[in-house]
Structure 1
Amino acid sequence: MSEERRAKGDRFHGRVGGRRRHCDHPGCTEPGEFRAPGERRSGFDGPGDWRWLCLDHVRAFNARYNFFDGMDAEEIEAQQRPYAGWERETRAFSVNAGSTPRWSDFIDPLDAIGARFAAREAERKDGKLLSERDRKALKILGLGTDADRRALRARYAELVRRYHPDRNGGDRSHEKALQDVISAYTQLKSAPAFA
C-alpha cells in the first residue's frame, strides 16, 4: 500500500484499525483492515464467518458480491417483500413524547418534522432557545419564558429573601425551597438565553 493511501486511509468507512492480520486473499501481504462476509452466512445457528481483506481486495469483493447468491426463488421473494421485518411487534411511542404533526397538512415529511420543533423555538420573542432544564428552572422561579436577565435577578433576590432562615427568625422549614431557587438561578444565569 502506498504512503499516500495510508495518509488518507482513515477516510474509508468500514476500516477496522489496530488489528495485525494479513489480507485473506491468497498471496496478498497487505494488512486485512476491512471485514467481508465469509462462506457461512449468519442464520439460526449463529453469526456467519468473516474474511479480512485489504482495500483493493475488498473493493473487488464488493464489485462482485451478490446477497442473493445461493437462495432459491422463494427466499429471494421473502427478502424483497416491501413489508419484510414489519411482522415483528414494536414498542409503542410514549404518550408523553410531545405533540405529533398532522402529516396530511404537509407535502414534505421533513417539513412536518421541522414544524414540531418550530413551536418550541418560537416560545421566546427574542428567538433564543430554552432547554428542558431551563424551562423547569423558570417554572421554579415563577417566571415566564420571555423573562430577561434583569427579571431573573430581581425574582431570585425576592425568593432568597423570602426563604432564607435569617429573614424568617431561624425557621429552616423553607430550606428545600431555597435550595431549589438557588439551583434554578445557577442553571439559568449560565443559559444561552440569559447571556
Structure 2
Amino acid sequence: MNRRNTRHRAFDPDPDAPGRCCDMAGCDEPAGYRAPRSRETLNEYFWFCLPHVREYNAKWDYYKGMSPGQIEAHIRDDVSWNRPSWRLGQRGAYFTEEDVLDPLDLLNGARRPGARGAPPTRPEAPEALRQPLSTLGLDWPLSMDELKVRYKDLARRHHPDANGGDRHAEERLKIINVAYTTVRTHLASSRQADLEKTA
C-alpha cells in the first residue's frame, strides 16, 4: 500500500489561495502565491503566479524609502520586538523583592540557611583566627595547601629585598609571618585531632 505524502512542498501554491488570476497586469495565470503589499501592511497581500511572485520578491525592498538612521532605529526596535525597554537600573528594567508576589513565601524560604536551593552557608572562623585570616586575605574554611600558596605569594610581594629594603615592607612581612604561624598551628592541631579520632 502506497502512502500519500500530504506535506506541503516549498514551491507548491498556497493552499489558502483565493482561486483568482494573478494580480500582475496582463497575466491570466492562476494566483497561488502571496506577497505583502507594503512595509506598513504586511498582512495585506498581492496574489501572483509563481514567475511573477519571484519577480516581485526579487525587486521588493523592505527598507525602501528609509534613511540609514531610520533603518538603524527599526533594527534596534526589532531586537526588543518593538516593545519599550529601559536602560539597566532604571524603573521597569528590573524587579525588586517588593514587586514580586509570593503568597506561598517560596522566595524567602529559599533564603533561609539550610533550605533547599539556598546558597550554602560558610562556617564561622574561630575567634582566634579572624584577625590572622583577615591579614592574609583568606576565608574560612581553608586547607593547608591554600594557606601555603597564599603565604608564599605575600612573602614574595612584601619581602624587603623585593622592595629595596623598605622598612614598611619589613614590618608588614613580620605581621604576615605571625598570622601565617597562627593559622598553620591551628590547622595542624585540628588535623592531628581528626587523626586521633579516627584511630
TM-score, L = length of structure 1: 0.33
Comparing both chains, which one has the higher relative contact order based on Cα–Cα distances under 8 Å and sequence gaps of 6 or more? 1
TM-score when normalising by structure 2: 0.33
